[in-house]
Amino acid sequence: MERLELLYDISRKLSSSLDPDKVLSDILALTIPSVGATSGSIVVLDESGQARRHTLIREGWVTPVTEQVVAQVLDKGLAGWVVRHKEGTIVFDTIDDERWLTLTDDHLVTRSAIAVPWLRQERVVGVLTLVHPEPNRFGEEHLDLLLSIANQAAIAVENARLYEKVAERMREATALYKVSNQLVRTLNLDQILEKVLDILQKFFGYLDCAILLVDEEAGELEVKAARGYLQETVGKVRLKIGQEGIVGWVVAHKTALNVPDVTQDSRYVEGIEETKSEMAVPMMAGDRVIGVLDVQRSEVNAFNDDDLRILSSVAAQAAIAIERARLYSAERRLRTAIAEERAKLEAIIRGASDAILVTNERGRVLLMNPAAEQAFDVEPGTWIDRPLKTVIKDADLFALWQAYLTDGVFCSDEIPLADGRTLYAQLTPIAGVGQIAIMRDITHFKELDKIKSEFVSTVSHDLGSPLQAIQIMAELIPKLGPVNQDQRDAVGDIIRMVAKTATLVRDLLDLGKIEAGVEMEMEPCQPATVVNEAVEFLEERAKAKEIALQITLPRALPLVMGNPVRLGQVVANFVGNAIKFTPDGGMVTISTWETEGEVAIEVRDTGIGIAPDDQACVFDKFYRAKSTQVSGIEGTGLGLAIAKSIVEGHGGRVWVESELGQGSTFGFALPIASSC
């Protein structure tokens, strides 16, 4: 009956509390008198068999005991024997039983003892030991009673352990929530590092801790912040990744590490004398290690798996916060740099003497510098995000934009202004933005060109008669008397040079007439007829080089308003150049077609091609390409300039497309007569 009452009292006590220390004290308080013992102890074990908690009651008083003593008892004492054998036992006299371990500093006399294991699913979760100062004080009935108590105690201890574990996880979860809550409040990297260390100290009791960040360029880890005795390493310690230290190994292998005794680990680099155990966890940003969270202690076996799990959780949140801070800092630097570069660019554009105009892909004005505002009489700032046609009324500039939208390629043209000035505009696409027009004032150059043209025209006219006289006299020399071969060759050179000079003079006079509008009488004419007649005179020259001439004409072409002689001159110039610069056996194709109110004529060859730098200048007066392939080919450099002047005098436009080694295409387009 007393046994049942005792078991009932123990059961009631065990179910009334989940505090592990209170549960152990209550068990001892009830069992010690029940078997007539004077003192007793309970050691609770973790999953690995190590002591997790212990309680000792001596003569009615809870007495402290060191972990070292508990470890000795489990290793060599009676409690250790019970754990290993998983069975209860009685020591009738400690003097005669080698299982009993007498501690040197234990002044309490013990002669008899009884110990039972607390088993839970075949695993020893604890050991109850009761003692008495006299021998032979315990018997089998006491052992049976303690084994009965052990069953209930094992359940109670396990429940308390589970409760403690859940409570600990709840505390961890709460702490980690606070960690997250604090870390998201700042984007300052230094503040984040300090907050992480504060959290490790305040919430988890890791007093000696440090944060090391990866320097990817140097391949090193640097201590950026620390607490406790590690604080002296801040800014002083740098470790080679994968080569130095436990933290270097952690970064290289992207793996958390718990080293119970650093003196026994070859990866440890001795730096701080106090360190005995170390725990390091990588801070990951995706697949990349950005740093290490490192915790150290001055005693061995200071950390367990729970510590490693906690530190890993903090490291994960710290990594997110650090990466956010770095991205924010990088974004701020980028925004500042962009703002500075934008300010510089705006200052350059605003101070530029050239008129600059930028539109987006929808034709709305994005930028207009003061020079452009003045040139086109636009009030400052009134152009922002407005359609170009509502901002600028200049027909020539708007036509340039329309030409780009039609052809989608680089365009350039002269833009005469109402105040008498002339701008040379170049319209270029900007990928992802729209178009930019840069317009330079060429009024002065136009005036110089006019003066030059007048001078050249005057000089050319005045040179005509003397050149004719020189040619006649040179041709008469052989007829006036006998000449030797050297003299005959010299006379031939004179005649050829005079003819070349005369050709240049004629071209100059011709250009002057065209620019002045002389001999440019217009009439409706058929482009096909112009092409056929011009090509017919060049067929012999093409045959001499075995070059095939291919003409592609539609059945019917609309008439154009023009001067047939001058238009034939343009076709002849394009075809003649194609024959001149195409190697023997090549091909020249002449095509004509109607397109959007115009008739286009194009000459394509398989010749040597033109370099991109030369293409922008081929229609300039006296310009000749710098290629060595054309240095030996004669020419005045005026043919294409004359052709351009003729076409523009007809209200048309010219173009060139070429690729070195692949040939060239020269073309022009004229308005259809009905639309003139």
The span from the CA of 140 to the CA of 619, in Å, is 123
The amino acid that residue 330 corresponds to is A
638 CB-near residues (< 8 Å, 6+ apart)? 504, 507, 508, 511, 621, 622
Distance separating alpha carbons of residues 201 and 300, to the nearest angstrom: 19
Q: Where are the alpha helices (DSSP H) in 549-605?
A: 564-580
User: Measured between alpha carbons, how far is residue 329 from residues 187, 204, 220, 324, 336 in Å?
Assistant: 8, 30, 21, 8, 11
| Predicted local confidence at residue 15, as pLDDT | 63
Please answer whether residues 579 and 547 qualify as being in contact, where contact means their C-beta atoms are separated by less than 8 angstroms: yes
Beta bridge partners of residue 588, listed in sequence order: 549, 605
Q: At 127, which amino acid appears? A: V
Q: Are 209 and 226 within 8 A, CB to CB?
A: yes
Closest CA to 98 of 78, 124, 125, 112: 78
Q: How far apart are CA 46 and CA 75, in angstroms?
A: 15
**CA–CA separation, 291 and 211 (whole Å):** 7
Between CA 241 and CA 246, with CA 242 as vertex, the angle to 5 degrees is 90
d(CA 206, CA 296): 8
Angle at 145 between CA 142 and CA 149, to 5 degrees: 135
List, for the chain, all residue ranges whose pLDDT scores fall below the cut of 50: 675-676
pLDDT (tens digit per residue) in 412-433: 788 888 888 888 888 888 888 8
pLDDT at residue number 676: 33
- Looking only at the bridges linking them, the beta strands covering 39-45 and 123-132 are antiparallel
Strands 209-215 and 123-132: unpaired
Torsion of CA 577, 582, 584, 588, to 10 degrees: -80
Query: What's phi and psi for 426, nearest 5 deg?
Result: -120, 120
Q: Provide the residue type at 138 as one letter.
A: F
Is the distance from CB of 40 to CB of 131 less than 8 angstroms? yes
Strand order in the sheet with 51-58: 61-62, 51-58, 39-45, 123-132, 112-120, 89-91
pTM for the model stands at 0.45
Residue 142: how many other CB atoms lie within 10 Å: 20
- 287-306 burial, b for 16+ CB within 10 Å, e for fewer? eebbbbbbbbbeeeebbeee
Sign of CA dihedral 315, 320, 325, 326: positive
Torsion sign across C-alpha atoms 64, 68, 73, 74: positive
Distance CA 221, CA 472 (A): 94
3-state secondary structure of 577: helix
In angstroms and rounded to an integer, the radius of gyration of the C-alpha atoms of the chain is 51
Q: What is the pLDDT of residue 117?
A: 92
Please give the backbone phi and psi of residue 10, each rounded to the nearest 5 degrees, phi first.
-65, -45
CA separation for the pair 523, 164 (Å, rounded): 108
Amino acid at 281: V
- Residue 112's identity, in one-letter code, is S
Q: How many CA atoms lie within 13 A of 271 on its CB side?
A: 21
In the numeric block, which tokens belong to residue 231? 């604080």
- Give the model's pLDDT for residue 134: 92
List of residues 6+ apart from 192 with CB closer than 8 A: 183, 186, 318, 321, 322, 325
Domains of the chain are 1-165 (3.30.450.40), 186-330 (3.30.450.40), 354-517 (3.30.450.20), 520-671 (3.30.565.10)
Q: Which two tokens stand for residue 601?
A: 């004529």
Pairing label, strands 257-259, 238-240: unpaired
For the sheet containing 238-240, what is the strand order? 238-240, 220-226, 209-215, 288-297, 277-285, 257-259
Q: What is the predicted pLDDT for the residue at 446?
A: 76
Separation in Å, CA 167 to CA 26, 50, 162, 174, 612: 21, 21, 8, 10, 78
C-alpha–C-alpha distance, residues 356 and 365, integer Å:
11
Judge contact between 314 and 179, C-beta under 8 A. yes
Q: Tokens standing for 70?
A: 């508990």
pLDDT of res. 408: 65
d(CA 242, CA 251): 7
Q: Which residues contact 515 (CB under 8 A, 6 or more apart)?
A: 453, 645
Per DSSP, helices labelled H in 184-304 are: 189-204, 245-253
The pLDDT value given to residue 180: 67
Element (DSSP H or E) covering residue 257? strand 257-259
**Contact criterion met (CB below 8 Å) for 60 and 36:** no
Give the whole-angstrom CA distance, residue 653 versus residue 325: 58
Give the tokens for residue 421.
Answer: 């000035």
Residue 465: the pLDDT is 61
Backbone angles phi, psi at 530, to 5 degrees: -60, -45
CB 507 within 8 A of CB 639: yes
**C-alpha span between 54 and 20 (Å, rounded):** 10
